[in-house]
Chain A
Amino acid sequence: MTIFPYRLEARSTPSSLMQLAVPVMATVATLLIGFLIFSLVGQDPLRAMNAFFIEPLSSINGWSELVLKASPLCLIALGLALGYRANVWNIGAEGQMLLGGIFASGIAIHAGDASGWWTLPLMMLGGIVGGMIWAAIPALLKSRFNTNEILTSLMLTYVATQLLIYLVSGPWRDPEGMNFPISAMFGDAALFPRLYGDWHWTWLKGTRLNASVFLTAIAIPLVWIFMRKSFAGFRMNVGGLAPLAARYAGFSDKRTIWTSLLLSGGLAGLAGMGEVAGPIGQLQAGWSPGYGFTAIIVVFVGRLHPVGIVLASLLMALLYLGGEAVQTSLQLPQALAGVFQGLLLFCLLGCDLFVNYRITRRVIAHHAA
């Protein structure tokens, strides 16, 4: 019997070079597999890759769409990363985001003509509170009844979807909306100002970019500081890396669960608010292209680090744009974006092996004949 001549050997410390190299390796591997997929479905792979990855970024409009899509992904992923570092697996960001959008829309719809300067800040608050309420349920069940937060937060996403459909097809339906499941368009006071249209930033001429992206821009350094400099962030980190040490140091599990879920739920809710009051401008039945789930990929590809998350959210946004681009230019289904996102994560998870292990030649004992 021949023995495979190489074996895995655990590294004594994780390789920091590999930590950085693995995302690059994974991206290259994804591109290669993408190349193969395009060849298999009978497309000219070079042309398809160009349409998917290069063309979307060939104009200022493309870049602004990239930022618009990356912004909610980044916001949600930042919150999730806090929890994942602490081993609290909030999978229900999608539902929390929907609730944030619902709460914000409720304020916009009910404020109506009475809106003023306070409408938008109140909607932000509403979005955060909505997301937090939805995340507080798994937090309560986890801390009080030891219930698995993966399953409960996910179940609540399905409940949130139904709630959204109920609202836009019932009480909040636009009476002039031809029976479509959408609310009325929000008034100007309930919308984020457009950087070109309202603020006249001429270099962004023709783009849809609006002020909601600044929410993300502000959140990035704040989350980074919270993770790296605050005691609460430290406690959560220790809880994730060494639960026993955390318990010995007197750090409370329950506090970590609540902090993780409330922060990630609040940020997801805020992202939902940013969408309905930003690019969309109303509440719709299917307004989310699954940002809450894609953000999970962003967290892993970004290595649970704020800087990595910013880069990963841009990459994921590019995959969304690429999906839309090949749909119009090559008539390929938009769902291809999800395929690429999944592939990227698989490649990353596979390549991760090299952070903690190395491949060495097997020492084969030679027996005398």
Chain B
Amino acid sequence: MDINQASNLTSSAIIAAIPLMYAGAGELVAEKSGALNLGVEGMMLMGAVTGYAVTVSTGNPWLGVVASVFAGLAMALLFGFLTITMLANQVATGLSLTIFGIGFSAYVGKPYTSAAVRASIDVMPIPGLSSIPVLGPAVFSLTPLGYLAFIMFAVIGWFLYKTRAGLVLRSVGESPSVAHSVGFPVVGVRYAATLFGGAMAGIAGGYYSIIYLHIWQEQLTSGRGWIALALVVFATWRPGRLLLGALLFGAVMALQFYAQAIGVPVPTQFLAMLPYLATIIVLVLISRNRNTIKLNAPASLGQRFFATH
């Protein structure tokens, strides 16, 4: 492998990691507040199809991204209404959000399966830095959404651990009844965190259809939403590790394409299994020690909250 290939590989790893970073970060914040939303895949698909449709009809990819965000928000609002207001089971609601998202995105996306986007969002190399060998083209020649993903991680880390609002969010996730009794708005916090998760999943989906693949088809995200969920567990609910996990998975996906491109004598279907198998492996590694999960997961994760007073 020469320096060019190394550069290409690093670059495609980071590009593949970006949607996972968005979806994972959104889910991490939602889960920190105790909201376990298994609907990431469904929210991503709705974001992908809405963003694509708007990009095709307006010719403006940025409007598409904004539409993706709103689609994700709408789906998350549905989840929030059912689980937070109507006190429905989070696991069942999240699953149905995904099933609904698969069906609904296929329905609204039907006219767009053969439509092409005329304009996408171009890369914006940072002068100077982008000419560093290997790292330059990979890290400093991203689209604005790529840079934003990295900035977002810094902001989330700062918000969760350095601000009072972040502390409130975490305390709601650890013990909603205690948070409620000291006067924190548990319902409001969970809604806000869930909506943030939806917006990020929406962007992740829009990134897939508008910027990364330039197409829309049924189930475009092919399980990436579930991988993002797994990454949050793998990261033991810490933003820094989530970033590493997303980059690791980006690398796995990049290797898959690289192996296909250089014609490794393995059927492509087996290469396509790699990200899913890698997900299982990292989950096993991290869950092997029962306490790792128990000590790190937000204590009220997946539980409904009903204020009796």
Please list the residues of chain A having a beta carbon within 8 angstroms of any beta carbon in chain B: 8, 10, 89, 91, 137, 141, 145-148, 150-152, 154-156, 158-159, 162-163, 165-166, 169-170, 290, 293-294, 296-297, 300, 333, 335-339, 341-343, 345-346, 349-350, 352-353, 356-357
Contacts and interface: CB of A to CB of B under 8 A. Distances in A.
Given A89-B91, A170-B267, A290-B102, 9 more contacts: A148-B233, A155-B277, A158-B222, A159-B273, A159-B277, A297-B96, A346-B93, A353-B86, A353-B88
Interface in B256-271: 267, 269-270
Contacts of B195: none
Nearest to A137: B280
Interface of B: 38, 78, 81-82, 86-89, 91-93, 95-97, 99-104, 106-107, 110, 218, 222-223, 226-227, 229-230, 233, 267, 269-270, 272-273, 276-277, 279-280, 283-284, 287-288, 290, 293, 306, 308
A70 B284 CA distance: 36
A147 B103 contact: no
A257 to B, nearest CB: 14
Contact of A159 (B81, B86, B93, B276): B276
A297 B99 contact: yes
A149 to B, nearest CB: 10
Contacts of B81: 350
B297 to A, nearest CB: 10
B279 A342 contact: no
Q: Which 4 A-B pairs have the closest CB atoms?
A: A338-B103, A342-B100, A335-B106, A166-B269
Tell me the interface secondary structure of chain A in the complex. helix
Contacts of B267: 166, 170
B269 A165 contact: yes
Contacts of B101: 342
5 contacts: A163-B273, A297-B96, A338-B107, A349-B92, A350-B81
A118 to B, nearest CB: 32
B108 to A, nearest CB: 9
A156 B226 CA distance: 12
A207 B103 CA distance: 28
B99 A154 contact: no
A346 B283 contact: no
Nearest to B223: A158
B162 to A, nearest CB: 30
Contacts of B227: 155
A290 B103 CA distance: 10
A338 B283 contact: no
A335 to B, nearest CB: 4
Contacts of B104: 335, 338-339, 342
A349 B88 contact: yes
Contacts of B89: 349, 352
B96 A350 contact: no
Of residues A91, A141, A155, A296, which shows the largest number of chain B Cβ atoms within 10 Å of its Cβ? A155
Contacts of A297: 96, 99
A343 B99 CA distance: 10
B110 A147 contact: no
Nearest to B293: A146
Given A8-B306, A296-B95, A154 B223 contact: yes
A155 B279 contact: yes
